[in-house]
Structures are given as structure tokens and as C-alpha cells.
Amino acid sequence: MSDQPPESAPATLGEGFNVFGLKQELMRAISEAGFTIPSPIQALAIPAVLSGRDLIAQAQTGTGKTAAFGLPAMNRILAGAGNGIEILVITPTRELAAQVSEELYKLGRYANVRTVAVYGGQSSRRQVEMVERGANVVVATPGRLLDLLTSGRIRKFQPRTVVLDEADEMLDMGFAEDIEAIFTHLPAKRQTLLFSATMPPAIRKLAARILTDPQTIDLTSTAEFKTDVEQFFYVIEESERAAAVSRLIDSEEPGKAIVFCRTKRETEALCTTLVARGLAARSLHGDIEQDQRQIAIAAFKKGAIDILVATDVAARGLDVTDVTHVFNYHMPFDQESYVHRIGRTGRAGRKGKAITLVTAYEFGKLRRIQHAIKASFIHGEIPSIADVHRRHDAKLIKALCKQTVHDGVVDILAQINEEMDIGEAACKLLSMLIERRAVSGPDRIGLSGKRLESVLGRGRRSENAGYRQSTSGERRRRPDERGRDDQRPPAAPRPQGDEAGFRRVRPDRPARPETGEGQFWDGKQWVRGRGKRAPG
Ligand code: ADP
Ligand code: MG
């Protein structure tokens, strides 16, 4: 932003928000929340909402949407000094309702904005009471809200501003009819704001019905929030998923990771496996009681749990800013879920890694997602046990170099030196440090050699079929399609992954030359033949 302060001068908290002309009380809360510069969606949405217009906004999760609608909407309450419910926010899940109402409370408290969350699984009597006792903002899930409206238990419900938060999510979860029904209870004269990470046709249709002459904001094409997430994929056999995730966790040592599974049962099973391996993991899915879910999420935020194994529904919209890794244990069902999932990491300007496991069978789907979201995927090889050890060694050495020397160790060292020489002592100390390292599982995980090449080759072919033109534009042979030009010397290196739309890690290993079957990596180069023999 142009009003970004120079790096040398620390920004006055909240300063970048001055331009909007928000009330004093809101500015105080913004500054206490530690916000300095409005995020892009905030910079665009706040003036739009203040103007009173309807709005349809597309932005990824973690981009600050709650404040983007909450601040200007709350600013308008103050201006009108109205009574009763002025703002209704509809969110897909209980977790999100709790999260959004917490954020709105935080931002609105000095302005005396009273916020109530209304969702299933908790006493509706209490929620109704709080609504009637002069709340200004209701944050609700569709099912419970519709119940209360149709049964007439919430009366005089005339919100001036209605927000659909994570609208695509609500439709995915089958709330389309509930939402339509809710709108029959809402005043015709209202401001309606629709926020969504993706804009499938169903959302556009809904928007056409409930919005009037909306302003449109689309921030998904700006690279800003995407480039912070590096997207890797690993090709594995179906039976290797758990071993692959475990190995990658051992190797990556994520600060905080979310592992996405397809079903509740899969979530439970994987979580059990990870816990058995000594990892601080918890599962999160729809069958887990609400309060247990909240305990798990709180522990994850605090860092008491490093890994959440979750279903899409349970984890979406989770506001945890420092997730370092997102694993797709299984491919998501569609590109929208993929976008949602990887939006859990790389938030608030941090870097993130998204790691997707695919079988040969699922590879085409991965290609379609890649094409649809115009992402650049990096093909990785699952590290062997020795690879992981090397990585840990390097980290240990780095940490050792940085380690400061504490008082008193010189004395201890002198005492040790009476028993043994310093070299032996160093070896023993290092052994103590690495004793707890346990990298288990098979040494090699994932497809290798011919099968892998054939899978990656398939991806390249579909690209030539129209996804993206490779530089040569030639259709490439399958490894089993051999032709006369196989007689050419194998010197010409196989085109690097980039050409196929993928980058590959392991730059230390040159790409395999494209000369047909029977090639293997002997540790130094690609050679023809079988087994570990030198070529020729
Ligand atoms: P979204 O709804 O787009 O997923 P949230 O509204 O949940 O995003 O915001 C994500 C996190 O970023 C929250 O913890 C929020 O407090 C924080 N945040 C929002 N706006 C700013 C800002 N301008 N500066 C710093 N942090 C912000
Ligand atoms: Mg949100």
C-alpha cells in the first residue's frame, strides 16, 4: 500500500486504517488487535461497505475478511445508533461462527457492539435470550438460525446488513435451501454482502437472487496470497499413504500441520497411527463433540498439538495463522476444496507448504486441478531414512553453530575431561542428542523408476492434448513405445519437469534421458539395464 511506512520507522498501530474515517472506538480496537496495514480485501471492501452498496467479494481464506465486513458494518451501526439486531453474519460451521463472533467482539468492544453466536449443539434458549437482550450482531449457522426464525422464537429480526461468509462452503454443505428460506425472513431493504473463496455457478446464481446491483471485488488472481504456498506432490502406491505422511513429517518437521482426510474413519485411523509414532496429533471431524473440537483447536493454536488430522468440513475457515504445512492425504474432491485446504497455510504473509499424495490413478485429477488454479506444482521424491537422517544432521550442525555457551559448562567440561578426552565426550554428547531420533517405515516409499516415469509422462501427454503447450509441441512417447530414433545416443537429457508444468526437487539428480525402458539411477547417473551395474 502507498501508505506503508518506511521500514526504519515503526508504524503507529492502526495508522494505515486512518484513510477509512472509521469511528474512534473502532480505531482503538484495530490498534489493540495489532493491525497496522489493511489487507488488500480490507482496503477494497471497507469503503465499499461504508458506501452502503451490496458487495460480492472473492478472496482466499486468511486474508482478513472478517474485519473487511465487520469494521464498516459496525461503523454503520454507530452512525445509525439503532436498536436491536443490525448485522447478521451467516457462516457455514459452528467453529466459524465462534471464530467470527470472537473477532467481531474484539473489534467492536469499545464501540459497545454486542455480538451473539447462534449455532446448533448448544442451548437455543440461552442464545435467544442473548439476542433479545439487545445484541447488535448475530453470527449464525444456517440450520439453527432458520429453526429460530421459522418457529418465531426470534422476533423483530430486522438486520440492516446481512453477510454470507464463506458462501461456497455453505452451498457445498447443502445449505442452499436453508439460505433461501432465511432470506424470506429478512427485510427487503438491506445491505447484503457475499464473501466466498471461489465463485462456482451456484454462487453466482444465489448472488443474482439476493444481491442488488453489487460491487464486485476479486482478489484471487492477485498472486499475493498464493505465492507464499509452495505446492508439492508425491506419487505413491495406495497402500503407502500413512507411511508417506509419517516419513514426510519426520523429514519436514512441521511447526504446525493439518492433514486432510476424506472421511471421519480415515481421520481417526491416521491420527491413531501418528500418535502411536509419538507425534502430538489430534483428529477433528464432525462426530467429535463441539467442546472437544474447540479444545483441540485451542491446543493446536497454542502449539500443544502439532498436527491436526481433519476432514474438510471440520477444518475449513480455521483461523490459525502459523500453519506451516498442509497435507492432502487424499486428493480433495475438487479444485475448490484444494484451494480451501491450501489456504490454511501461508497465511498472514508467512510461508507455507502444501503436500499432496497422489497415486498413478489420481494423477490426471491432480493435473486438472493444477491447470484450473494455474499453480506450479513441484514433484518431490519421498526421502529415504538416510535422507531424513542427513537432513536432521544438517539441522543439528546448524543449531550447534548457533548455540550460545552457558555459564558453568566450562567447569563440567573440565570434569568430563578427567574421565575421557574431548573428542570422545563430543561423540557421546551427540549420541545423547540423536538417541531419540526414530525414523521408521520402509526405506523407500513412493513410485520409482519406470512406473514413476510412466505416470509423469502421462501428465505430459495430457498437457500436449491442450492443457498447456510444451516447448517442443511434440507428443512424447510412452516408455513402452519404442521407435527407430531409440538408436540415438542417450545423451539428450529428458526435458526437465518445468516443461511439463512441474518443477522437480532433487536438483542433484539429473533428469532421466528419454530413451525408453530399462533405465535406473545408479546413484550417479541414469544407466540402461537392470540392477546396480555400471553402464556398458
Ligand atoms: P478470513 O476470514 O479471510 O479467512 P480472518 O478474518 O479470519 O480471515 O483473518 C485472519 C487473521 O488475520 C485473523 O487472526 C485476523 O485477526 C488477522 N488480521 C485481519 N486483518 C489484519 C490486518 N490488517 N493486519 C494484521 N492481521 C490481520
Ligand atoms: Mg473468515
pLDDT one-digit tens code per residue, 324-378: 999 999 998 888 788 888 888 887 678 899 999 999 888 888 988 888 787 788 8
**What percentage of the chain has pLDDT greater than the value 70?**
79
CB 185 within 8 A of CB 157: yes
**What percentage of the chain has pLDDT greater than the value 90?**
46
pLDDT at 513 over 80: no
Q: Give the sign of the dihedral formed by CA 360, CA 235, CA 339, CA 226.
A: negative
Question: Pick from 356, 349, 351: which is nearest to 373 by CA?
Answer: 356
292 Cβ below 6 A of ligand 1: no
**Res 173: pLDDT:** 87
Question: Pick from 456, 454, 449: which is nearest to 521 by CA?
Answer: 449
91 Cβ below 6 A of ligand 1: no
pLDDT in tens, 43-97: 999 999 999 999 999 987 778 899 999 999 999 886 545 567 899 999 999 989 9
- Domain range annotation of the chain: 13-218, 224-383, 386-435, 447-536
pLDDT in tens, 218-241: 887 654 434 578 899 999 999 999
Neighbours of ion ligand 2 (CB under 5 A): 65
pLDDT in tens, 98-149: 999 999 999 999 999 999 999 998 888 999 988 888 899 999 999 999 999 9
Fold topology of 224-383: Rossmann fold (3.40.50)
**Res 210: pLDDT:** 94
Question: Pick from 271, 275, 251: which is nearest to 261 by CA?
Answer: 271
**Res 416: pLDDT:** 92
The answer to whether the 13-218 and 224-383 domains have the same CATH topology is yes
The DSSP annotation for 104-163 comes to HHHHHGGGT--EEEE-TTS-HHHHHHHHHTT-SEEEE-HHHHHHHHHTT-S-S---SEEE
Question: Pick from 157, 175, 150, 155: which is nearest to 165 by CA?
Answer: 175
Atom of ligand 1 nearest to the CA of 60: 3
**Res 460: pLDDT:** 52
CB 363 within 8 A of CB 459: yes
142 Cβ below 6 A of ligand 1: no
Report CA(98)–ligand 1 centroid distance (Å): 15
pLDDT at 246 over 90: yes
Atom of ligand 1 nearest to the CA of 343: 4
d(CA 236, CA 239): 8
**Res 189: pLDDT:** 94
Residues 6+ apart with CB under 8 A from 98: 117, 119, 294
* CATH number of 13-218, picked from 3.40.640.10, 3.20.20.10, 3.30.70.330, 3.40.50.300: 3.40.50.300
Residues 6+ apart with CB under 8 A from 367: 459, 462, 463, 467, 501
Atom of ligand 1 nearest to the CA of 41: 3
Q: Which of 240-249, 286-295, 508-517 has the lowest mean pLDDT?
A: 508-517
208 Cβ below 6 A of ligand 1: no
d(CA 457, CA 481): 12
Atom of ligand 1 nearest to the CA of 37: 23
